[in-house]
A and B are shown apart, each in its own frame.
Chain A
Amino acid sequence: ETGVTQSPTHLIKTRGQQVTLRCSSQSGHNTVSWYQQALGQGPQFIFQYYREEENGRGNFPPRFSGLQFPNYSSELNVNALELDDSALYLCAIGPGQGRETQYFGPGTRLLVL
């Protein structure tokens, strides 16, 4: 097991609302990435945090933002939700600290109505 947890597991929101998703790891890993996986697609990279700083970003608008805390837990915030934001949101730890690649949490399934 990766020891990565995410909350909540499921969430329903309406268009225009804001949402915060959370991620933590037992080992307190210093690198965390967030991905969006739409139905029938592979995960798409949103951004990565390393030691509380954004370390890289994919092609997502600024209404997708994140934070990493001193205990290395992380949040993904999405403002002004759109229907197309409905997806599985995955956080991943690594690489580094004995991990050669990224290991995923169970995800949060977001439905925007």
Chain B
Amino acid sequence: RKEVEQDPGPFNVPEGATVAFNCTYSNSASQSFFWYRQDCRKEPKLLMSVYSSGNEDGRFTAQLNRASQYISLLIRDSKLSDSATYLCVVGPRNTGFQKLVFGTGTRLLVSP
């Protein structure tokens, strides 16, 4: 079983749609959680951190359920520029040594 599991997609949605991605992780000791975005042939870039209380950044909302070991990302009012691969990422500790564990990514395609 992979440490971080995601549906690879692709998710094909029209502009303006709302889309949700889910991710599960197996290590219950995990302490830090993130969503990274990766454009084709580019490096991963931090989209947002994920907190137990849930957090929102503009059109993006992230949720963490520690009991179920489940992380989600909601994108509202999708834009063409949101087309990318979204990587669910888990880390063992908040600070200090940090080995990030990545899912394989979920590919999103937003069409006109």
- A-side residues, CB < 8 A to B, are 33, 35, 40-45, 48, 50, 55-56, 58, 90, 92, 94-96, 100-107, 109
The one of A48, A50, A100, A106 that contacts B49, using a Cβ cutoff of 8 Å: A100
How many CB-defined contacts (below 8 Å) exist between A and B?
Answer: 61
> A42–B105 contact, CB under 8 A?
yes
> A96–B95 contact, CB under 8 A?
yes
- Cα distance, A101 to B104, chains bound together (Å): 19
The one of A40, A44, A90, A101 that contacts B34, using a Cβ cutoff of 8 Å: A101
CB distance from B40 to the nearest CB of A (A): 11
> B44–A43 contact, CB under 8 A?
yes
> B46–A101 contact, CB under 8 A?
yes
> B105–A101 contact, CB under 8 A?
no
The one of B34, B45, B97 that contacts A50, using a Cβ cutoff of 8 Å: B97
CB distance from A19 to the nearest CB of B (A): 19
